[in-house]
């Protein structure tokens, strides 16, 4: 496990880059050794920077019972809630601070944060921070810290962009990779349901109401679509909640807590909050939209089949998204099975059930009529006229 390989290195004062599959216990891999090394009551000694509020809360919730036993004070600070309460908590003293980049810099600018005693810097989900454009903020945070510190970086995936970005931050780091971080766990059954884009909502409703999956997470690419899908499910009496960055922190937490308690059977989410969703026993992940990067696909379906359990990941595939699935299959090194729902009434299919997928936009051609080409989302190319042979 990631903990077994990482904890001894942290205790040896080494900088570490840890990569492992989602749900493998990365948080404990840095929280446990930090609490073992530090002594409580001497200011902020450990700073954990993470991209989303949900992740910050998740780390705080996991660290609190471990820290309180040894007298450590833990606090998570993030946007979406009033800053005054966080300032009051900081004044009472904090040993381990979990923070999102924006709120951390805001507190620093206001003069409410003393980072001069930080001994550990942890960058959690660094690839997501890079994707979300937080890296300039991360650099400013690093510049505000003491030079003599230990740096730990953890993520489920590690891109070249991240490795390039962290080169100046880490000092002779040890790289630890547990499992193939670019592939999902083996206990996830992956399925593709080809369907017209305008039938996706109907197919989703049909699946949820006829197959009755236990606890389902539905991912949409945009906030607007997440809300639209949520409303469509509510109309069919599905117990559903939505979580995305336009919802305030109270709404997001209420939705997440309700999903955990079983008040909602379905949670609709966007990628930006995906990594903060830590809910046990998610049986199904459904990609309403094919994710735009293979890493996002892996993170999405990593919400199910945790701790050795089994799970199902279903991707609704329209013809326009075929090239995205091709990229995903290349990274996970497998052809994902295509299926039809036998009892669902499909319109004229825009994409075949076979594994033949269209290429990237701009190269899709259709040699039939112009109107039909437009319906298929393809570029129209006039068929060449055949020359008749003489005689």
Average pLDDT over residues 283-301: 90
The mean-pLDDT minimum among 69-73, 118-122, 133-137, 361-365 falls in 361-365
Give the model confidence (pLDDT) of 369-378 as tens digits: 444 334 334 3
> What is the pTM (predicted TM-score) of this model?
0.66
Common-topology check for domains 2-178 and 188-360:
yes
CA distance linking residue 367 with residue 382, whole number of Å: 6
**384 DSSP assignment:** P
* CATH superfamily of the 188-360 domain: P-loop containing nucleotide triphosphate hydrolases (3.40.50.300)
Beta bridge partners of 18: 154, 176
Beta bridge partners of 269: 219, 243
* CATH superfamily of the 2-178 domain: P-loop containing nucleotide triphosphate hydrolases (3.40.50.300)
- Which residues are CB-neighbours of 212 under 8 A, at least 6 positions away? none
Give the model confidence (pLDDT) of 338-350 as tens digits: 999 888 998 876 5
Q: In what order do the strands lie in the sheet with 120-124?
A: 74-77, 96-99, 46-49, 120-124, 150-155, 16-20, 174-178
Of 285, 289, 288, the closest CA to residue 299 belongs to: 285
132: pLDDT confidence band, cut at 50, 70 and 90?
Answer: confident
Give the model confidence (pLDDT) of 20-70 as tens digits: 765 567 888 999 999 999 998 889 999 999 998 888 998 999 999 999 999
**121 DSSP assignment:** E
Give the start-to-end residue ranges of the domains of the chain.
2-178, 188-360, 362-391
Burial of 37 (0-12, 13-18, 19+ CB in 10 A): middle
- In order, the DSSP letters of 300-335 are HHTTSSGGG--EEEEEEE-GGGHHHHHHHHHHHTSP
Burial of 82 (0-12, 13-18, 19+ CB in 10 A): exposed
Question: Helices (DSSP H) in the chain: which residue ranges?
Answer: 2-11, 26-37, 53-68, 83-92, 101-109, 126-131, 135-143, 160-165, 200-211, 223-235, 249-261, 294-301, 322-332, 370-375
CB burial readout 303-337, b (16+ within 10 A) else e: bbbbeeeebbbbbbbbbbbbbbbebbbeebeeebe
CA distance linking residue 191 with residue 335, whole number of Å: 10
Q: Are 121 and 45 in contact (CB under 8 A)?
A: no
- Identify the pLDDT of residue 296: 84
Of 164, 171, 233, 243, the closest CA to residue 205 belongs to: 233
Neighbours of 112 (CB within 10 A): 15
Q: Are 52 and 220 in contact (CB under 8 A)?
A: no
Give the model confidence (pLDDT) of 202-249 as tens digits: 999 999 998 888 899 999 999 999 999 999 999 999 999 999 878 877
Neighbours of 242 (CB within 10 A): 26
**389 DSSP assignment:** P
């Amino acid at each position: 496990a990631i903990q077994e390989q990482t904890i001894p290195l942290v205790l040896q004062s080494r900088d570490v880059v840890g990569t492992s599959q989602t749900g493998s216990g990365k948080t404990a891999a840095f929280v446990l050794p930090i609490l073992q090394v530090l002594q409580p009551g001497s200011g902020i000694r450990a700073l954990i920077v993470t991209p989303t509020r949900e992740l910050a809360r998740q780390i705080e919730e996991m660290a609190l019972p471990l820290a309180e036993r040894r007298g450590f004070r833990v606090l998570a600070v993030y946007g979406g809630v009033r800053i005054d309460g966080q300032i009051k908590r900081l004044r009472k003293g904090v040993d381990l601070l979990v923070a999102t980049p924006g709120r951390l810099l805001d507190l620093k600018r206001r003069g409410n944060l003393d980072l001069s005693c930080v001994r550990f810097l942890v960058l959690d989900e660094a690839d997501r921070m890079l994707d979300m454009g937080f890296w300039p903020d991360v650099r400013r945070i690093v510049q505000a810290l003491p030079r003599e510190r230990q740096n730990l970086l953890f993520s489920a995936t590690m891109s070249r962009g991240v490795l390039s970005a962290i080169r100046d931050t880490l000092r002779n780091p040890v790289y630890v990779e547990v499992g193939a971080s670019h592939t999902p766990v083996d206990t996830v059954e992956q399925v593709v349901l080809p369907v017209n884009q305008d039938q996706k909502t109907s197919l989703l409703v049909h699946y949820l109401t006829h197959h009755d999956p236990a606890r389902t997470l539905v991912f949409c690419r945009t906030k607007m679509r997440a809300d639209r899908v949520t409303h469509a499910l509510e109309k069919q009496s599905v117990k559903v909640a939505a979580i995305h960055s336009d919802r305030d922190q109270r709404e997001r937490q209420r939705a997440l807590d309700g999903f955990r308690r079983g008040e909602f059977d379905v949670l609709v989410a966007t990628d930006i909050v995906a990594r903060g969703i830590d809910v046990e026993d998610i049986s199904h992940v459904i990609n309403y939209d094919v994710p735009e990067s293979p890493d996002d696909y892996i993170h999405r379906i990593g919400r199910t089949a945790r701790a050795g359990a089994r799970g199902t990941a279903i991707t609704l595939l329209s013809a326009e998204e075929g090239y995205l699935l091709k990229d995903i299959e290349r990274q996970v090194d497998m052809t994902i099975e295509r299926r039809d729902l036998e009892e669902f009434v499909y319109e004229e299919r825009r994409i075949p059930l076979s594994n033949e997928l269209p290429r990237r936009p701009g190269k899709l051609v259709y040699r039939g009529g112009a109107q039909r080409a437009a319906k298929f989302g393809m570029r129209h190319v006039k068929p060449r006229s055949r020359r008749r042979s003489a005689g």
